[in-house]
Structure 1
Amino acid sequence: MLVRLMYASRATSALVEADLAAILRSSRENNPQEGITGLLCFTEGVFVQVLEGGRDAVNARYRRIVADPRHSDVTLLSYEEIGERNFAGWTMGQVNLQRLNPALMLKYSESGRLDPYQMSGAAMAALFREMCASGAIAAAEL
């Protein structure tokens, strides 16, 4: 059974570009073995991630994230059983907010900035789908 899980969390320490690159590299190396695909967005100290895959694999990954001391305020935004993946093309895609039209953010949020703690899970999911359609996802895979 396939599921899609979306969560938000706050980084417990400042991250630099190299830190984020290491997280993506690790995800892209490990996710294929677990059958997990998805997207990661990091901005202003906040992570938003979508994970898709088998229920057991996705649940196990989420438990590791919740227990990871690099994350605080881990909040489940949505969890659903799915018939097919929306993000099958990425072992872990990266959202590039610089390529995002600011009007798209305003479509789904009060302030025009990405704050998953102030958005519904449905709005975040719709925003991620539109990000894919608009080319705001870095498709480079390792």
Structure 2
Amino acid sequence: MLVRLLYASRASGPVTQDTLDAILAESRRNNPALGITGILCHGGDVYMQVLEGGREAVNTLYNRIVRDARHDPVTLLHYQEITERRFAGWTMGQVNLHKVNPSILLKYSEKPQLDPFVTPGCAAMALLEELMATAQIVGRTG
């Protein structure tokens, strides 16, 4: 059974390009064997990530993320059983939220900066789908 999970977190320390590169490299190295696809959005100290795959694999990875000291706190925004993946082309795609047109962010949030902690999960998912449709996700596989 496939599931899609969306969570948000704040970085517990400074977010550098090296930090992001390490997270993405680890994801891209480990996720294919786990059957997990998804995207990582980042902006400032905020992460928002979608994970898709088998229920056990996604739940295990999410629980590992919750315990990861780099995140504080981790908030589950959306979880659903799915019949097909939306982010199948990415072992872990990437979106820098600071580079997204503020008018796109304003469609889905109260202000032109995304705060996933106050944005409904369904609105955050709609934003991610628009980012995918407008080719703002980088790191596509294959």
Give the TM-score of the pair, scaled to structure 1: 0.96
Deviations 1:4-38 (A, max 9, x none): 00000111000111110111011000000000000
SS of the residue aligned with 1:66? helix
Is 1:2 the counterpart of 2:14 in the alignment?
no
Partner of 2:92: 92
Mapped to 1, the partners of 2:35 and 2:130 lie a distance apart of 24
Mapped to 1, the partners of 2:39 and 2:5 lie a distance apart of 11
SS of the residue aligned with 1:118? coil
Residues 1:100 and 1:35: Cα distance change in structure 2 (over 3 Å): same
Query: How far does residue 136 in structure 1 lie from its aligned partner after superposition?
Result: 0.8
SS of the residue aligned with 2:66? helix
Mapped to 2, the partners of 1:76 and 1:70 lie a distance apart of 16
Query: How far does residue 102 in structure 1 lie from its aligned partner after superposition?
Result: 1.7
Query: How far does residue 97 in structure 1 lie from its aligned partner after superposition?
Result: 3.1
Q: CA RMSD in A?
A: 1.3
Deviations 1:39-64 (A, max 9, x none): 00111101100000000000000000
Q: Is the 8 A contact 2:91 2:140 kept in 1?
A: no
SS of the residue aligned with 1:40? strand
After TM superposition, the structure 1 = structure 2 runs for residues 1-142 of structure 1, keeping only pairs within 5 Å, are 1-97=1-97, 99-141=99-141
Q: Is the 8 A contact 1:97 1:136 kept in 2?
A: no
Residues 1:98 and 1:11: Cα distance change in structure 2 (over 3 Å): closer
Q: Which runs of 4+ in 1 moved over 2 A?
A: 96-101, 139-142
Q: Which amino acid aligns with 1:5?
A: L
SS of the residue aligned with 1:42? strand
Query: How far does residue 99 in structure 1 lie from its aligned partner after superposition?
Result: 4.6
Mapped to 2, the partners of 1:44 and 1:129 lie a distance apart of 21
Mapped to 1, the partners of 2:98 and 2:120 lie a distance apart of 23
SS of the residue aligned with 2:117? helix
Q: Is the 8 A contact 1:99 1:135 kept in 2?
A: no
Query: How far does residue 140 in structure 1 lie from its aligned partner after superposition?
Result: 4.9
SS of the residue aligned with 1:21? helix
Give the TM-score of the pair, scaled to structure 2: 0.96
Identity of aligned residues (%): 56
Mapped to 1, the partners of 2:53 and 2:99 lie a distance apart of 27
Q: Which amino acid aligns with 2:7?
A: Y
Mapped to 2, the partners of 1:8 and 1:97 lie a distance apart of 13
